[in-house]
């Protein structure tokens, strides 16, 4: 497949890395020559320097015979015009655009993206994706990462193992014997900064970050077994009243169970917009790093603080201050993946990487229809892949123990006829089953082969 990726920033680079690694012809377009050079030097891609919305630039990028274009520049307007030119001039069939401004995403203007107007097939909103990720983190306060799979019947939980965990120094094989009815699988472990797929003989140690896929009915039990307590989230403080903070507050207000929400916003104009848009949420104007203001927001009695300003360092410092003042849980927004290793030493409970959520969302839409969901782990180090088993797939009709999965791949869950099954080596993959696999980045192409699914447009 021939793909043009417009925008060579972190999102565009990660998408290019995924697609070029799976033997697609990828061309990266950006007005910044240094970013284009970085992509061509580190990836097996072509590079074109120029403005993505210019027809001659797209022509040089190979738009005349391209199968898909992904517009992920920093400008919404450039992304929209790029998709229009790609359709009107070059007839590219599949067009994906990243749009940041919520004004373009109002449901009242949904007709804007029809083929008769702006022919964009998929609109990705980073802010909506981040807001949804924040709500998932708040729903599982004991986890630093979480994502739903298998029609919301299973959930990926990232859990940091403490000294109090009752199952440390226990081989995973024994966990299966000790908790025979538990429907949860440890699919990945990060130890000393290195992510790997565990074997049945591997043990869990204090300080490990474990990725566990659990049946939603067993989530509370899973947290208990791994030494975590799930508290109710009844009082939330949000630092940052932009679109992300506003979106989270709106969602919390709409819940049946009452949640007390307070927003702290430095910009008076944004604070007034948030106050007008929300009904039960208290909006405070001021600096989220101000101790007096945090006291006014009753941070010491808050169940969680969500820090989502547009500055990474502010987010880190505000999270640390909130925890130091007694807040039970801190979740912060971090754009720079090199800051993630600081989360543990700073005692920040969870983080959200907007670029990772955007990459996962885009990958979800560009995989073939049989792949239902792709979730990126860490800095694109691994993927959780949810896919339907095809009748012609090499794994169809085989038991797990008889399939030669790479060392970096582990089966996390299987759904048969809409119901999750407890996994064992005897579990057989039948046509129509939906499976979830944890795969290290280097092993994703082999997973695609085993599923007999190619990266393609719908």
User: Which pLDDT score is estimated for 455?
Assistant: 39
Q: How many residues does the chain have?
A: 458
Chain region(s) in the chain for CATH 3.40.50.720: 2-124, 235-356
Q: What is the pLDDT along the chain (458 residues), one digit of tens a residue?
A: 899 999 998 889 988 887 887 678 999 999 999 999 999 999 999 999 999 999 999 999 999 999 999 999 999 999 999 999 999 999 998 999 999 887 888 777 777 887 778 888 888 888 888 888 888 888 777 888 888 899 889 999 999 998 989 999 989 989 888 888 889 999 999 999 899 999 999 999 999 999 999 999 999 899 999 988 776 778 999 999 988 899 899 889 887 678 899 999 999 999 999 999 999 999 999 999 999 999 999 999 999 999 999 899 999 999 999 999 999 999 999 988 788 888 888 989 888 888 778 877 787 777 544 677 888 887 778 989 998 888 888 898 999 999 999 999 999 999 999 899 988 889 999 999 999 999 998 898 888 788 865 434 33
CATH class of segment(s) 357-451: alpha beta
Per CATH, the number for 2-124 is 3.40.50.720
DSSP 376: E
Residue ranges, CATH 3.30.70.1450, the chain: 357-451
User: Rounded to whole angstroms, how far apart are CA atoms 42 and 61?
Assistant: 18
Task: Tell me what pLDDT residue 458 has.
Answer: 30
The Cα–Cα gap between 151 and 363 comes to 18
Q: Are 354 and 372 in contact (CB under 8 A)?
A: no
Sign of the Cα torsion 331, 352, 379, 37 reads negative
CB 342 within 8 A of CB 158: no
Name the strand (E) or helix (H) holding 71. strand 68-71
Q: What is the pLDDT of residue 456?
A: 40
- Asked whether the beta carbons of 260 and 285 are under 8 A apart, the reply is no
The torsion angles phi and psi of 430, rounded to 5 degrees, stand at: -110, 155
Task: Determine which helix (DSSP H) or strand (DSSP E) holds 220, and give its type and residue range.
Answer: helix 219-225
Per-residue model confidence (pLDDT) at position 375: 84
311, two tokens: 């500055």
Q: What are phi and psi of 96, to 5 degrees?
A: -120, 135
Cβ-proximal residues to 447 (8 Å cutoff; 6+ apart), any chain? 385, 406, 409, 437, 439
Predicted local distance difference test score (pLDDT) of residue 451: 80
pLDDT for the residue 369: 44
Instruction: Quote the tokens at residue 382.
Output: 């691994």
Q: Which fold would CATH assign to domain 235-356?
A: Rossmann fold (3.40.50)
Token pair belonging to 309: 């300003």
């Amino acid at each position: 497949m021939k793909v043009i990726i417009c925008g060579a920033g972190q999102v565009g680079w990660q998408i290019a890395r995924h697609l070029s690694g799976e033997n697609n012809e990828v061309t990266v377009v950006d007005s910044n020559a240094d970013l284009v050079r970085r992509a061509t030097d580190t990836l097996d891609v072509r590079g074109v320097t120029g403005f993505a919305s210019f027809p001659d630039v797209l022509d040089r990028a190979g738009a005349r015979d391209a199968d898909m274009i992904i517009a992920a520049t920093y400008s919404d307007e450039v992304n929209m015009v790029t998709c229009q030119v790609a359709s009107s001039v070059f007839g590219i069939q599949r067009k994906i655009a990243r749009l940041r401004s919520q004004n373009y995403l109002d449901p009242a203007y949904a007709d804007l993206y029809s083929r008769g107007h702006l022919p964009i097939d998929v609109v990705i909103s980073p802010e909506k994706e981040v807001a949804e990720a924040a709500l998932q983190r708040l729903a599982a306060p004991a986890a630093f990462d979480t994502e739903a799979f298998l029609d919301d019947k299973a959930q990926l939980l990232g859990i940091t193992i403490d000294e109090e965990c009752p199952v440390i120094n226990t081989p995973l094989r024994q966990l299966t014997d000790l908790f025979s009815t538990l429907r949860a699988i440890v699919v990945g472990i990060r130890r000393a900064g290195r992510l790997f797929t565990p074997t049945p003989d591997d043990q869990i140690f204090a300080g490990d970050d474990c990725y566990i896929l659990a049946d939603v009915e067993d989530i509370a039990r899973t947290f208990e077994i791994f030494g975590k307590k799930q508290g109710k989230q009844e009082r939330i403080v949000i630092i940052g009243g932009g679109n992300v903070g506003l979106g989270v507050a709106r969602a919390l207000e709409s819940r049946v169970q009452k949640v007390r929400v307070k927003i702290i916003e430095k910009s008076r104009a944004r604070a007034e917009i948030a106050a007008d848009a929300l009904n039960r949420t208290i909006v405070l104007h001021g600096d989220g790093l101000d101790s007096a203001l945090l006291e006014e927001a009753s941070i010491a009695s808050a169940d969680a603080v969500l820090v989502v300003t547009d500055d990474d360092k502010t987010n880190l410092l505000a999270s640390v201050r909130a925890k130091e003042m007694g807040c039970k849980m801190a979740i912060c927004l971090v754009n720079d993946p090199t800051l993630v290793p600081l989360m543990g030493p700073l005692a920040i409970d969870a983080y959200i990487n907007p670029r990772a959520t955007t990459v996962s969302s885009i990958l979800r839409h560009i995989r073939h229809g049989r792949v239902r969901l792709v979730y990126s782990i860490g800095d694109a180090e691994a993927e959780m892949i949810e896919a339907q088993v095809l009748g012609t797939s090499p794994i169809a009709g085989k038991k797990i123990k008889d399939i030669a999965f790479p060392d970096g791949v582990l089966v996390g869950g299987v759904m048969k006829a809409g119901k999750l099954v407890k996994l064992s080596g005897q579990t057989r993959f039948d046509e129509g089953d939906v499976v979830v696999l944890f795969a290290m980045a280097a092993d994703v192409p082999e997973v695609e082969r085993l599923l007999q699914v190619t990266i393609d447009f719908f």
